[in-house]
Structure 1
């Protein structure tokens, strides 16, 4: 008798199909309405009959759903054989409704401002209306995904049982905003940007954008120790061109980048209606949490997240990712960091729910 067919495993990568959830009218925090708002997403695993095994794992600045797949897989904490992992793409990232795909007259620089809360409310509509889910065992995310994670726990405390924000914050710090302003200036000053009405994305501006980013994404120690060689690069210039310029020239639209940048700049759970302040918003979180900054993150240093944890419920853990990879400790590029994060996810999922 022949062996049974093996269980189908999810195929990963940017070329695999994804789904789109359409919201007829999504009124944004700024007062404008997207008609419609389309949320691109991909799922991994199967939703069980009780609908209590769903995990939300939002994307990050300029990331797409496949960029989150390094933390999903057989034998990992986010194992699709056990969990139903939903990866929603942020508004503005080029797959969900964005300046690059919005209809006239809302396209390009006329696209409305998006806030973190807008993304979370769209994701809430996806989770509840498309899937009928009322409980989330975990929400987690890297960088801007971490900001969305905090917002989920503030906006829907009755629903989110656990959170694991890594290399991100509930409120964008002033130093971080200065960095974002430099990125904005590089794009807007580029030859051919034309106030955002370009016909061809200005490659010169994207290269300058990437060069600024290169000084922030990894730590000083990462460069001093030439850790970029572990990514296959042969010189510092090779790394900056291959990794950084290549990243932002790979189909990233400047108006999309500016929209997401503005979302990041204004990130603050304290702006949630009824929250009162950032401190009060953090205190309202009921979810069991492990907060994971990276030791040498230049955007979201551990002391900032220690401050956040000090305002959260008793028992919230601050667990610092050690090492020199800075912000990209959470980017899935270093196997040691990946194992550290994966272990924390497994441990958190084994802890009692906060609600």
Structure 2
């Protein structure tokens, strides 16, 4: 097993429900120094596991494991941390409780403090739903987080993104194969359909017009739809997918007892030096939403990723975009 498990025990969720024997899967890169001041937290995105974060980590990158201790916690519901697919009855499958972003960060905080005794985090960064977790870290623990760099993601799920995710969910929950979450075999037809729904949103119109999928090794649009998009979702358990979708749809850094739904107050509470990096053609998280959020954060700068690779400009599959993100992280980490 190329990751570690932090046992959380019986946890009381934000909903008030108790999830027994909960656990957080995580991986670390690099070594924690004696002063414990070289810590970077890099949460996973929707549908991802820690492996999918490794493109941004390396000796030639800003997230250099020879210099920093990088912790990648796995989102609950992703199949490695507590999820519908690995939780015993009566909380298995469709009965898995609703997990919020606030819950996830509370558990990550326990990992950081109880397991490692860390009091300061040099940087929190993340893509997509990992970006939302990044914002939540800074809002939940403003005295602990020194810098944040969320990319291709917002501090809450705005209504248009919520609606998009409803469209993602529909092919699954309306399919007889799903059997209300009690399937014996994965509902592959529905998951393929979800891949095709996502395909129209993940990249920009210009990306498709210019047939840039050919740069990724796909020789036709149909080949790209089947071998990139469909295959991606066939590897995710359907109940896990729905659990993560719920978490994503209800993301809001102010939806907790700290801020009682006051979104501006939550943003204004962030003390970390912040670089906000939306994708200029991101159809999930348009840059206008990020610009508004940036204006509310006291020490934030707006650094959009000028790219026609849409949301996946932040996925590590386009060298120019990857270099831009890495450069921004490098500059941010130099700030004192």
- Tell me the equivalent position of 2:313: 329
Query: Among residues 119, 128, 134, which one is paired with 2:119 in the alignment?
Result: 134
The reply to whether residue 87 of structure 1 matches residue 56 of structure 2 is no
Question: TM-score scaled by structure 1?
Answer: 0.93
The reply to whether residue 263 of structure 1 matches residue 247 of structure 2 is yes
Any idea what the Cα deviations from partners look like across 1:160-212, whole Å, max 9, x if unmatched? 00000000000111111111111111111123110000011100000111110
What is the CA distance between 1:274 and its match in structure 2?
2.6
- Tell me the equivalent position of 2:14: 29
1:167 and 1:33 mapped to 2: Cα distance? 32
Any idea what the Cα deviations from partners look like across 1:24-67, whole Å, max 9, x if unmatched? 12211111122111111100000011111111000000100010
2:110 and 2:197 mapped to 1: Cα distance? 36
Partner secondary structure for residue 195 of structure 2: helix
- Tell me the equivalent position of 1:186: 171
Equivalent residue pairs, number: 335
The reply to whether residue 318 of structure 1 matches residue 302 of structure 2 is yes
Partner secondary structure for residue 99 of structure 2: coil
Question: TM-score scaled by structure 2?
Answer: 0.99
Instruction: Spell out the pairing of 1:225-304 with structure 2 (5 A cutoff).
Output: 225-250=210-235, 252-276=236-260, 277-304=262-289
RMSD, matched Cα: 0.8
Instruction: Spell out the pairing of 1:167-178 with structure 2 (5 A cutoff).
Output: 167-178=152-163
2:217 and 2:17 mapped to 1: Cα distance? 46
1:24 and 1:106 mapped to 2: Cα distance? 14
Preserved CA contact (<8 Å) 1:74 1:80: yes
2:66 and 2:307 mapped to 1: Cα distance? 31
Query: Among residues 185, 196, 218, which one is paired with 2:203 in the alignment?
Result: 218
2:182 and 2:73 mapped to 1: Cα distance? 28
Query: Among residues 14, 33, 57, which one is paired with 1:72 in the alignment?
Result: 57
- Tell me the equivalent position of 1:5: none
What is the CA distance between 1:74 and its match in structure 2?
0.7
Partner secondary structure for residue 30 of structure 1: coil
What is the CA distance between 1:118 and its match in structure 2?
0.6
2:174 and 2:51 mapped to 1: Cα distance? 31
Q: Deviating runs (4+, > 4 A) in structure 1? A: none
The reply to whether residue 97 of structure 1 matches residue 87 of structure 2 is no
- Tell me the equivalent position of 1:348: 332
Any idea what the Cα deviations from partners look like across 1:294-324, whole Å, max 9, x if unmatched? 01000111100001011110x4100000110
Structure 1 residues not aligned, in runs of 5+: 1-15
Structure 2 residues not aligned, in runs of 5+: none
1:248 and 1:192 mapped to 2: Cα distance? 15
2:256 and 2:266 mapped to 1: Cα distance? 8
1:242 and 1:98 mapped to 2: Cα distance? 26
Preserved CA contact (<8 Å) 1:45 1:80: yes
Any idea what the Cα deviations from partners look like across 1:325-348, whole Å, max 9, x if unmatched? 000000000011000000000000
Partner secondary structure for residue 333 of structure 2: helix
1:70 and 1:254 mapped to 2: Cα distance? 26
- Tell me the equivalent position of 1:204: 189
1:63 and 1:78 mapped to 2: Cα distance? 19
